[in-house]
Chain A
């Protein structure tokens, strides 16, 4: 022990860091902040350190070349001992880091921590969110598979819509006219040098301000933040009733970080690494590219925006979002901190959570995409064919052969791009069915040129049978009146 003390003293005489470190560790924090709600920031930092370590380990093997990256990922997965585990740790670490950063941000927002004097801490936090998302996107590209390739295509298509400089932006992003070696190299440089550099710098500033300004006190309803008095009040909270950060508060941080690291390791072992998926060969077109989990909501949004509004929303939406986040501490720098007195803040969080959750859920099922192989792999259920006439059955054949099934489901199998047709005969009369098939409309292509009159007749005859046994198909009442009969005879 004496030797350790001696060595320690030797270093401290030269470094002179012992006293400031001790002072930092023991700085007083408000008593109530020694709480499980205050552990997310330190957990995000811990996961970031895991990402640095695993990232360096991956870089020992990974080859950032468009021709070799996919093979080197296969080698990591199968050829290097426990390479799969390091990849899995890095992939799951990325997901956990994003999740924890989001949770941290929600907690900070609901606890009013962005208010005076911590405005800049919040702003740097917003920048940290952006660079973390940047790490996630560039990292997804380095897993250079089909999803990465076409994901880059989506990114380039969005960039190209910027007015005037769009085509330039695409070439700067791709490093050339197409997605190729230069593209991967620059995303490698971004993911490994540029963005982590920013991340480390921002984390440093963020932490420094947390230490200088002190951790946000537990919000009490009725305790109003005022610029004139806050500093004095906070000083009293920390110096009169406060507790030292070490050990009173830090043990929760350490335990939670350990729990998160353990969770990442368990996920890595149990679920394994992410991909890589198919080879990044653009001539293999049998693929349905999908972004990683944290960008799924965007993927869903892109299919629901009306075409005309898409470009403005894509380009202006993110800018507005970032400006709102950056402006928040200036608009609401004073006042109530407690979520119990801030219903709009709580509702905002709920609205954002429900929106993102819904969009993510939709993106996992992609109801807007045709099921490309439904026509050849999902037969029409037998109950739709039993007891039908030859014409109606021929119509069912047309339904399959013309790929109607890719967009329309029967008995919950097939695509969901268009409406389910189980009871379509209740909704549309025969004439309306013919018109819809031939002219399309309402987001359905027109099939007039692709169907012979005989095929149309057969198809509509089949569609007319799609109604519950105890309900009659829709009929045109005015036609019956004109024909002088009380009811149109069922076909």
Chain B
């Protein structure tokens, strides 16, 4: 065997080694990427949202807006208090409700209700909303996010489980319409 042949054989072996590592690399990359994307793929399979009870209707007097809290449906044991989410419930009349996300439609800060002036105000950048959730002033481009709701066995249920953001508002699914069961 000439030395030239020997060199080319070794060069070929190096190439083979690189090829083997590339194949194994791709083979490993697929599960790694799937692992990283699990927060997205889980949504496609099971979904994050489900119907949750906010409690009996008697807690929400007609014509008033009250703070309600619920435990997020998708939680881990180590989530602690971050699994508790607040929302604003407005009872328009006997069977008509509006359930607003706590998150300002601008950048997600918690809005506060002022019953005296019938306004929601945001402490971060000064967004304000009327009692029906529509935009009153400030930087938000839209009204407050609304949860889909229904009434069952004298209880108010909302469909929740995901933090609403300007890019994915829950209202787009609810359409802001009443859906009484």
Q: Are B168 and A160 in contact (CB under 8 A)?
A: yes
| Pairs of residues from A and B, 9 with the lowest C-beta to C-beta distance, nearest first | A67-B80, A160-B167, A166-B167, A153-B108, A160-B165, A445-B136, A303-B125, A177-B48, A288-B123
Q: Which of B40, B108, B118 contacts A450 (CB 8 A)?
A: B118
Residues of A within 8 A of B55 (CB): none
Does A174 have its Cβ within 8 Å of any Cβ on chain B?
A: yes
Residues of A within 8 A of B168 (CB): 160, 166-167, 170
Q: Shortest distance in angstroms between B87's beta carbon and chain A's nearest beta carbon?
A: 10
Does B157 have its Cβ within 8 Å of any Cβ on chain A?
A: no
Does A280 have its Cβ within 8 Å of any Cβ on chain B?
A: yes
Residues of B within 8 A of A447 (CB): 117
Does A489 have its Cβ within 8 Å of any Cβ on chain B?
A: no
Residues of B within 8 A of A372 (CB): 112, 121, 123
Known: A167-B168, A181-B80, A181-B82. A307 touches B139 (CB 8 A): yes
Residues of A within 8 A of B32 (CB): none
A interface residues with partner B (beta carbon < 8 Å): 65-68, 149-150, 153-154, 156-162, 166-168, 170-172, 174-183, 279-283, 285-289, 299, 302-303, 305, 307-308, 310-311, 368-370, 372, 375, 401-404, 406, 417, 440, 443-447, 449-450
Q: Are A177 and B161 in contact (CB under 8 A)?
A: yes
Q: Which of B82, B102, B136, B167 contacts A162 (CB 8 A)?
A: B167
In the assembled complex, the Cα of A288 lies from the Cα of B109 at a distance in Å of 8
In the assembled complex, the Cα of A174 lies from the Cα of B122 at a distance in Å of 22
Q: Are A177 and B124 in contact (CB under 8 A)?
A: no
Q: Are B39 and A440 in contact (CB under 8 A)?
A: no
Q: Report the tally of A-B residue pairs with Cβ distances under 8 A.
A: 202
Residues of B within 8 A of A303 (CB): 124-126, 139
Q: Shortest distance in angstroms between B158's beta carbon and chain A's nearest beta carbon?
A: 14
Q: Are A403 and B117 in contact (CB under 8 A)?
A: yes
In the assembled complex, the Cα of A177 lies from the Cα of B42 at a distance in Å of 10
Residues of A within 8 A of B165 (CB): 156-157, 159-160, 166-167, 170
Determine the residue in chain A with the shortest Cβ distance to B103: A153
In the assembled complex, the Cα of A362 lies from the Cα of B166 at a distance in Å of 25
List 20 other contacts, CB 8 Å, given A166-B167, A180-B83, A443-B138: A149-B82, A150-B108, A153-B107, A153-B108, A156-B108, A159-B165, A160-B168, A161-B166, A168-B40, A170-B168, A177-B39, A177-B163, A180-B75, A182-B39, A280-B82, A282-B102, A289-B109, A370-B121, A372-B112, A445-B130
Residues of B within 8 A of A178 (CB): 72, 74, 82-83, 85, 161-163
Known: A369-B125, A445-B130. A154 touches B86 (CB 8 A): no
Give the size category of B's interface with A. Answer: 35 or more
In the assembled complex, the Cα of A299 lies from the Cα of B84 at a distance in Å of 26
Residues of A within 8 A of B124 (CB): 150, 154, 288-289, 299, 303, 369
In the assembled complex, the Cα of A401 lies from the Cα of B124 at a distance in Å of 22
Contact with A along B53-89 (1 / 0, CB 8 A): 0000000000000010100101111111111111000
Q: Are B78 and A417 in contact (CB under 8 A)?
A: no
Q: Are B82 and A180 in contact (CB under 8 A)?
A: yes
Residues of B within 8 A of A179 (CB): 82, 163
Known: A177-B48, A177-B163, A303-B125. A443 touches B137 (CB 8 A): yes
Known: A67-B78, A150-B108. A289 touches B123 (CB 8 A): yes
In the assembled complex, the Cα of A172 lies from the Cα of B34 at a distance in Å of 12
In the assembled complex, the Cα of A208 lies from the Cα of B117 at a distance in Å of 63
Q: Which of A177, A285, A302, A308 contacts B86 (CB 8 A)?
A: A285
In the assembled complex, the Cα of A375 lies from the Cα of B9 at a distance in Å of 86
Residues of A within 8 A of B82 (CB): 66-67, 149, 178-181, 183, 280-282
Does B1 have its Cβ within 8 Å of any Cβ on chain A?
A: no
Q: Are A403 and B119 in contact (CB under 8 A)?
A: yes
Residues of A within 8 A of B128 (CB): 370, 445
Residues of B within 8 A of A65 (CB): 78, 80
Residues of A within 8 A of B72 (CB): 177-178, 180
In the assembled complex, the Cα of A175 lies from the Cα of B75 at a distance in Å of 12
Q: Which of A177, A287, A446 contacts B136 (CB 8 A)?
A: A446
Determine the residue in chain A with the shortest Cβ distance to B139: A307
Q: Shortest distance in angstroms between A53's beta carbon and chain B's nearest beta carbon?
A: 28
In the assembled complex, the Cα of A446 lies from the Cα of B130 at a distance in Å of 9
A-B contacts, 11 of them at CB < 8 A, read: A153-B107, A166-B168, A170-B168, A174-B163, A178-B161, A178-B162, A281-B81, A302-B125, A417-B126, A445-B136, A450-B117
Q: Are A308 and B39 in contact (CB under 8 A)?
A: no
Residues of A within 8 A of B140 (CB): 307
Residues of B within 8 A of A281 (CB): 81-82, 84
Q: Which of A162, A176, A283, A370 contacts B39 (CB 8 A)?
A: A176
Does B51 have its Cβ within 8 Å of any Cβ on chain A?
A: no
Residues of A within 8 A of B106 (CB): 157, 302
Q: Are A375 and B116 in contact (CB under 8 A)?
A: yes
Q: Which of B112, B137, B138 contacts A286 (CB 8 A)?
A: B112
Q: Shortest distance in angstroms between B127's beta carbon and chain A's nearest beta carbon?
A: 9
Residues of B within 8 A of A406 (CB): 114, 121
Does B152 have its Cβ within 8 Å of any Cβ on chain A?
A: no
Q: Are A369 and B123 in contact (CB under 8 A)?
A: yes
In the assembled complex, the Cα of A445 lies from the Cα of B40 at a distance in Å of 39
Residues of B within 8 A of A286 (CB): 112
Does B37 have its Cβ within 8 Å of any Cβ on chain A?
A: yes
Q: Which of B74, B79, B139 contacts A310 (CB 8 A)?
A: B139
In the assembled complex, the Cα of A368 lies from the Cα of B121 at a distance in Å of 12
Residues of A within 8 A of B110 (CB): 150, 282, 285, 287
Residues of A within 8 A of B138 (CB): 368, 443
In the assembled complex, the Cα of A68 lies from the Cα of B112 at a distance in Å of 27
Residues of B within 8 A of A172 (CB): 36-37, 39-40
Residues of B within 8 A of A368 (CB): 125-126, 138
Determine the residue in chain A with the shortest Cβ distance to B87: A283
Q: Are B81 and A280 in contact (CB under 8 A)?
A: yes
Q: Shortest distance in angstroms between A150's beta carbon and chain B's nearest beta carbon?
A: 6
